[in-house]
Structure 1
Amino acid sequence: MTGSWERICRVDEVLSDRPVGKVVGDSGQDRDRVCVAMTNEGEHVALLDRCPHRDIALSGGIVKQGTLVCPGHFWRFDLSTGERTDQSETGAVVYPTRVVDGWVEAMLPPVQPHQSMRERLLAQARANRLGVPETAAQSPEIGDNVTVAGIRTNYHDLGSGPPVVLIHGSGPGVSAWANWRLTLPALVAENFRVIAPDVLGFGYTDRPPAARYDLGAWTDHLVGFLDALELERVSLVGNSFGGALALSLATRHPERVERLVLMGSVGVSFPITAGLDRVWGFEPSLANMRALLDVFAHDHTLVNDDLAGLRLAAATRPGVQDAYAAMFPAPRQASLDAMTIEEDLVRAIGHPTLVVHGREDRVIPLATSLHLHELIQDSQLHVFGQCGHWVQIEHAPDFNRLLADFLGSRR
């Protein structure tokens, strides 16, 4: 390997069961992120801190018996080779490593010349590689699948314990994994069974040509999904559009619901915001996707052209945009009103409910959560300051702790 030796961390920072993640450069390239772990023999190993779908050490990985376990899908990497021990077709890059004067050093590859997003997308298109991978080995967004009323439904099912179903929002190119990637491993670590389906028409769930997209159809699909997995009673966590589905299920089939979490939720009447109108009226382009991500996030450092490019690729897979355009046609106030649950039904909800919102949310106004809190007698409200529509991403550790405590109380 060509490159240069760079200091990563002090030797005493590396524990036997926990890797250390460091950002050692400012190029914005993957080589800036390094993970250092310790083998059973006490030797230090440095790896690229990106498994094929997310950071390892920087998001809470662990070391067990010479194997580095990544959060997320819990992929396992052999520390001596970087190869996955659960599946051999992929692996992590292992750098030459040495210890000098109490520091772990790694030989990192040189910084590559900058390539603009436009240049990269054009290069990918020329190589016929543009788009989100379509196999589970390549894309973490693809999990298990089950057939619900003839519709092949993609979902993630991790952990064991009381079942919790996570229902994603309705942004262009969204999937259960994209929405809940930071929540899934946190709840699994708290001993919950966590199930996150791609809702009818979204992600990698089928989009039948004659599919009907409305609250009734989405609710029926969700009930059929619970039946297919033999889940009699679950706690529901609904984000935005997914909050309306959670409310619909809780009011139509209250016997199927244990606890309810509504995050930046649709479901009560309000004048459509400019932000939501932009979300549902999305026209595919990199500029539009980047602008839309800026609407979602209060902290704009979370948003860059790379992320926008990935979400644009997801939103423009064959058939995805056609289905999306059919879901929320103009006038979009009517589409929003069709996602509203009658207030008397909401007021009758008897499930313990947690209502969560970002104070600076530009997509769904905070007033909707205040109103839900007023309507649902057995509810509590938590508002995150300096937070937009991405509570589960912008305040992931605090949100995950709040969620686990609420779902686990009185168990």
Structure 2
Amino acid sequence: MTNQQKDLVNFHTVNCQGLHTNIIGEGEVIVFLHGGPGSEHRFFLPHVLPLSQRFKLVFYDQRGCGKSETLKNTQYSMKDEVEALELLRKELDVEKINLFGESWGSMLALLYATSYPERVNRIFLTAVIGVTAEGFTTFSEELEKRLSEEDKIKLSILEEKYKRGDTTIEEILGVLDRYYVYSEESLKRKKKTTINTTVNDAIGKDIMENYDLTMKLDKISNIPILIAQGSHDILTPNLVKGLLLEHIPHAVLIEVEECGHWTVVEKPIEINKIAIDFFDTSL
């Protein structure tokens, strides 16, 4: 059995307010916020498990995602996700949490921090989107620019088939996945995860209509924020300067070389080192 397999065996799995939660390690709490919207916490595994040598890592599937309970009314929203995270913090019985947010999870981290600034210690963001819906729109536009004409045709056909129920979301993502990485070789290391399209659609609509933190950012001016962005992310470090750093000037940006959007999968050693240096205040 490898060390990574042993780590997975050592998980403490609990159900917190309907949220499927996996906990490993001891020490200061780091809560991981997965992307999507609609994906699941297994995206992070086993890549960040070395952090459990120093910290208590808390992974959970957001509402309706992975193994967490679905909402009967399917009214998924950003506010509900913020409140679910606050419920989780209370269940963990800790005064303050550290946040590790990836992609949509980076937005959720900022949403939570601006809602409950007194409950956040430090914020680590990667594959960031921004502080307004502009980042969400720009991400789609930049991804569209990268698509080959052949893949645009493939996606158009697959999307029509998906509407008829003749294909799966996994087949669509199979075309898109390689655009999220710098090296396609790294896709072999990505764990197969599910995505709830109902959650994705509902929160995506909410983001487009309501995501704007610009008037609330003063609440997090005293919270240390570190961003690790892939050099070849769909939102490049240069774009992130306008979408986020201009609004949160105290945030620190580190460029991860030869890396795309899925930094945790492509460059786990670098990401873990950056995270340890940031979260471990005793160093």
Listed one character per residue, the Cα deviations across residues 379-409 of structure 1 (whole Å, up to 9, x for unaligned) are 2110112111111111100110110111012
- 1:368-379 equivalence runs, <5 A: 369-371=240-242, 372-379=244-251
- Establish whether residue 290 from structure 1 lines up as the match of residue 174 from structure 2: yes
* Residue among 137, 145, 149 paired with 2:15: 145
Cα offset for 1:328?
Answer: 2.6
Which residue type is aligned with residue 378 of structure 1?
A: H
Q: What is the SS of the residue equivalent to 1:72?
A: helix
- Establish whether residue 176 from structure 1 lines up as the match of residue 48 from structure 2: no
Contact in 1 for aligned 2:22/2:59 (Cα 8 Å): yes
- Cα separation, 1, equivalents of 2:84 and 2:184: 35
Q: What is the SS of the residue equivalent to 1:237?
A: strand
Q: What is the SS of the residue equivalent to 2:73?
A: coil
Which residue type is aligned with residue 250 of structure 1?
A: A
Match of 2:203 in 1: 327
Match of 1:383 in 2: 255
Match of 2:56 in 1: 193
- Establish whether residue 164 from structure 1 lines up as the match of residue 99 from structure 2: no
Q: What is the SS of the residue equivalent to 2:259?
A: coil
Match of 1:241 in 2: 104
Unaligned runs of 5+ in 1: 1-50, 62-68, 76-139
Q: What is the SS of the residue equivalent to 2:255?
A: strand
Cα offset for 1:367?
Answer: 4.3
TM-score, normalised by the number of residues in structure 2: 0.80
Match of 1:302 in 2: 186
CA shift in 2, pair 1:324/1:347, >3 Å:
same
The higher radius of gyration belongs to 1
Listed one character per residue, the Cα deviations across residues 6-44 of structure 1 (whole Å, up to 9, x for unaligned) are xxxxxxxxxxxxxxxxxxxxxxxxxxxxxxxxxxxxxxx
* Residue among 126, 137, 150 paired with 1:263: 126
CA shift in 2, pair 1:171/1:340, >3 Å:
same
- 1:51-130 equivalence runs, <5 A: 56=2, 61=3, 70-74=5-9
- Cα separation, 1, equivalents of 2:13 and 2:92: 14
- Cα separation, 2, equivalents of 1:365 and 1:336: 21
- Cα separation, 2, equivalents of 1:356 and 1:394: 12
More strand by share: 1
| RMSD across aligned positions (CA) | 3.0
Cα offset for 1:300?
Answer: 0.6
Which residue type is aligned with residue 246 of structure 1?
A: A
Cα offset for 1:265?
Answer: 1.8
- Cα separation, 2, equivalents of 1:299 and 1:70: 25
CA shift in 2, pair 1:392/1:154, >3 Å:
same
Match of 1:3 in 2: none
Contact in 2 for aligned 1:360/1:387 (Cα 8 Å): yes
- Cα separation, 2, equivalents of 1:368 and 1:180: 28
Which residue type is aligned with residue 114 of structure 2?
A: T
- Cα separation, 2, equivalents of 1:171 and 1:215: 10
- Cα separation, 2, equivalents of 1:160 and 1:387: 30
Among the aligned pairs, what percent are the same residue?
A: 20
> Would you identify which runs of 4 or more consecutive aligned residues in structure 1 move more than 4 Å?
275-279
TM-score, normalised by the number of residues in structure 1: 0.56
Match of 1:250 in 2: 113
Which residue type is aligned with residue 253 of structure 1?
A: Y
- Cα separation, 2, equivalents of 1:276 and 1:225: 33
- Cα separation, 2, equivalents of 1:177 and 1:381: 26
CA shift in 2, pair 1:295/1:340, >3 Å:
farther
- Cα separation, 1, equivalents of 2:229 and 2:190: 23
More helix by share: 2
Unaligned runs of 5+ in 2: 148-154, 163-167
Which residue type is aligned with residue 181 of structure 1?
A: P
Cα offset for 1:335?
Answer: 3.4
- Cα separation, 2, equivalents of 1:386 and 1:405: 21
- Cα separation, 2, equivalents of 1:244 and 1:286: 24
Contact in 2 for aligned 1:264/1:366 (Cα 8 Å): no
Q: Which sits farther off after the overlay, 240-249 or 261-270?
A: 261-270
Count of residues in Structure 1 that have an aligned counterpart in Structure 2 = 259
Q: What is the SS of the residue equivalent to 1:196?
A: strand
CA shift in 2, pair 1:252/1:195, >3 Å:
same
CA shift in 2, pair 1:188/1:70, >3 Å:
same
Cα offset for 1:175?
Answer: 1.2
Match of 1:134 in 2: none
- Establish whether residue 202 from structure 1 lines up as the match of residue 65 from structure 2: yes
Which residue type is aligned with residue 376 of structure 1?
A: I
Contact in 2 for aligned 1:290/1:303 (Cα 8 Å): no
Contact in 2 for aligned 1:355/1:369 (Cα 8 Å): no
Bigger relative contact order (CA 8 A; separation at least 6): 2
Q: What is the SS of the residue equivalent to 1:335?
A: helix
- Cα separation, 1, equivalents of 2:130 and 2:13: 28
Cα offset for 1:164?
Answer: 0.9
Match of 1:366 in 2: 237
Contact in 1 for aligned 2:75/2:202 (Cα 8 Å): no
